[in-house]
Structure 1
Amino acid sequence: MTPRGFPAFPPGRARRPRTWWGTAWNRAWEADALDARPLRAGRRLAAAGHVGAITVSPGRLAAAVHDGDTEQAYATRVRVATLADDDWDRLAGEVAARAGHQAALLAGQLPRDLAEVTGVPLLPGLGEVAPECDCPEWDHPCRHAAALCHQVSWLLDTDPALLLLVRGRDARTLVPTAAHHDDVPAPATATVRAAEAGTAAAEAYARTVAPLPPPPAPVPGAPTLPLLPPGPDVDVDALRAAVAVAAGRAAALLKRP
């Protein structure tokens, strides 16, 4: 299985995972912590953008993490126990028997009851997450490993298949390739496969960001909307335009015979 690489997150606000599996991942590795202080320090490093490009591979997470000086970055790794072949067989059998589980995985969702029905622990348990770092700290985990684990929860939010990868298998082990690609035209299929394989961090970082498409035009006859109050980090004009388009389309649908 090919490791997947992800470019470094830019500095920003401290964030919590939004999905149940991202939250469960944080609970899993934090359960082994001996002290809460490195966890908080790691959260600050993650928010400050001090974690480099992240590589996710079976049983291993890796990144260079620094304390503010990029010339003094530490090689940080987190070893994660992989699942046994029997566990993967049980998961694959359950997914094959339930179309809903296949649909959820294809949609980038991780069914909560998949682990409950099969008894296979998708999330690592106590002692199954082993942080490693060449920094001089003795904490377990150190703040650098904690920062890496925090950012991995952000990646998991958008791609739970990474949890399956770090536990030992590609997501296609559970969802047959045919289920992914049978109805996809050949050029699009290549694009999907390339996306699933991941992109080298340096290549992704060097790419030019494509411009956003123009916003949809308002629907004629859309209802008049009330003024929207301003809020922090909210583009009121853009929000109002989006609401107007949605309201107009809804009104047009209601008028259909």
Structure 2
Amino acid sequence: MATDDRVRGFPAFGPTPRRRGANAGSWWGTAWLKALEDGSLDHTQLKRGRQYAYAGRVGPITVSPGRIAATVQDHDEPFHSQVQLDQLTDPAWDRFLDRIAGKAGHIAALLDGDMPTELAAFAEDIDIPLLPAIGELEPECTCPGWEHPCQHAAALCYQVSWLLDADPFVLLLIRGRASGEVLEQLQRRGTEPATAGAPQEPIQAEGIPATIAFGTPTAELPEDPPPVTEPPSCWELPAGPEIEPAVLRLLAHDAALRARELLAELPVPNDDWQQAVRFAAHHSHDWVLDRLASAQNRDTHELRLAAAAWQQGGPAGLAVQERSWQPSEVERARAERLWSAAELPKALRRANTWTLAELRVQLRYGTDGHWYPYRQHAGDWWPVGRPRQDPGSAFTEL
């Protein structure tokens, strides 16, 4: 976080599992999203923005008076998005703080790091717009789109609602005052005696208040890390009459990779074909693939396709590529709920495969509960991107 408490920096959320029901988890976050959605002129952009937010395409977020900003990644091109909101004037802040100062319980809650939802009603009673009104959020983006907001600004706004879930004081900062300033000015009004032994300087609590932490649902585990694709560095080997240096170099690389996998307790290939596929996934030279395929009595193209599946998800990715399976009724119902919650287009389902033929894309549901994205190319279905825990995030890989 920046040292100036009027400019706060928040780390990127990264890929986040879809939430069931509402897209925000608190009253303040929900109110923020209502203002965004009520004022939007294009709900298609909001839908894409939600997908981008959950897919982790929004970078670190900077919040300052009247402005929130972040870089949003759109495939290979980053765009700088910001959303502006009018700051409250000094007289408006005085009226608002005077109103709060008359409620000892609310001052105590604020000093404890909590922000009662009644503050929004207090502000509305005296004609002060604490929450953004319809159309008050002013998005800007460096992308060529003209939508209001575009998908990049919408993604930023959705993630700001998550900031408000954890720390509603962010809203006060957007309106022009840092939490330390607000608490200091309330203390100066002298309407609430200071707690014995409490410091007289503005309170800047670190971390999340215990009341919020205790009531926060347990977070889902993060996505699995991607498989290792780059071999470690190796010494340059001199040529010799009895060995092939290129082959020896690859074997040395592979030994290092296998040692790392064993130390990390990764799944061990259980047959010669899986061993060949694993080796091909790490060493994709044409001559390597030809020799491996010949040793396995397989076609080189078949091995190349299998290696791509291994690069996507290891043994589980290979299993998804090679074998279809029939999910149970419970598993199929869960998958259908996830698909519906992600607001994805209607797809043709066969066994564990959901296909959108007109887009030439496909999602495959693995026995490990992950969704594997595929794209059709030259008549074959090729793995693309990483497996995800929900279909919405997997679809963004396409």
TM-score tier, shorter chain, comes to 0.5 to 0.7
Say if 1:164 and 1:171, in contact at 8 Å, map to a contact too: yes
Q: Provide closer, same or farther for how the CA distance between residues 183 and 9 of structure 1 changes in structure 2, counting only shifts above 3 A.
A: farther
Q: Are 2:69 and 1:62 equivalent residues in the alignment?
A: yes
Pick one of 117, 129, 152 that aligns with 2:160: 152
Q: Does 1:97 align with 2:102?
A: yes
Give, in whole Å, the separation in 2 of the partners of 1:184 and 1:114. 24
Deviation, structure 1 residue 30: 1.9
**What is the CA–CA distance in structure 2 between the aligned matches of 1:48 and 1:34, rounded to whole Å?**
23
CA distance in 1, matches of 2:199, 2:98: 28
Aligned CA RMSD, in angstroms, stands at 2.7
- Name the amino acid aligned to 2:88: L
Residue 131, structure 1, aligned to residue 135, structure 2: no
**What do residues 136-194 of structure 1 show as CA deviations (whole Å, max 9, x unaligned)?**
111110000000000000001111110000011122343227689984579xx89x648
Structure-2 separation of matches of 1:95 and 1:175? 11
Give SS of 2:74's match. Answer: coil
Q: Distance in 2 between matches of 1:176 and 1:5?
A: 22
Q: CA deviation at 1:104?
A: 2.1
Contact 1:21 1:110 in 2 (8 A): no
Higher relative contact order (CA 8 A, sep 6+): 1
Counting only pairs closer than 5 Å after superposition, residues 76-95 of structure 1 correspond to structure 2 as 76-95=81-100
Aligned mates of 1:27, 1:183 — CA distance in 2: 42
Q: TM-score, normalised by structure 1?
A: 0.67
Give the 3 Å change call, closer, same or farther, for CA 58–122 of structure 1 in structure 2: same
Give 1 or 2 for the bigger CA radius of gyration: 2
Selected match of 2:36 from 26, 29, 42: 29
Offset, 1:18: 1.4
In the alignment, structure 1 segments of 5+ residues that lack a partner are: 197-231, 233-257
| Partner residue, 2:301 | none
CA contact (8 A) 1:108 1:158 kept: no
Partners of 2:35 and 2:135 within 8 A in 1: no
Name 1:3's counterpart in structure 2: 7
Distance 1:4 1:92 in 2: 22
Letter in 2 for 1:126: I
CA contact (8 A) 1:106 1:180 kept: no
Mark the runs of 5 or more structure 2 residues left unpaired by the alignment.
Answer: 188-192, 208-333, 335-398
Q: Which runs of 4+ in 1 moved over 6 A?
A: 179-182
SS of the residue corresponding to residue 174 of structure 1 reads helix
Q: Report the residue type matching 1:61 in the other structure.
A: I
**What count of residue pairs does the alignment treat as equivalent?**
192
% identity of equivalent residues? 49
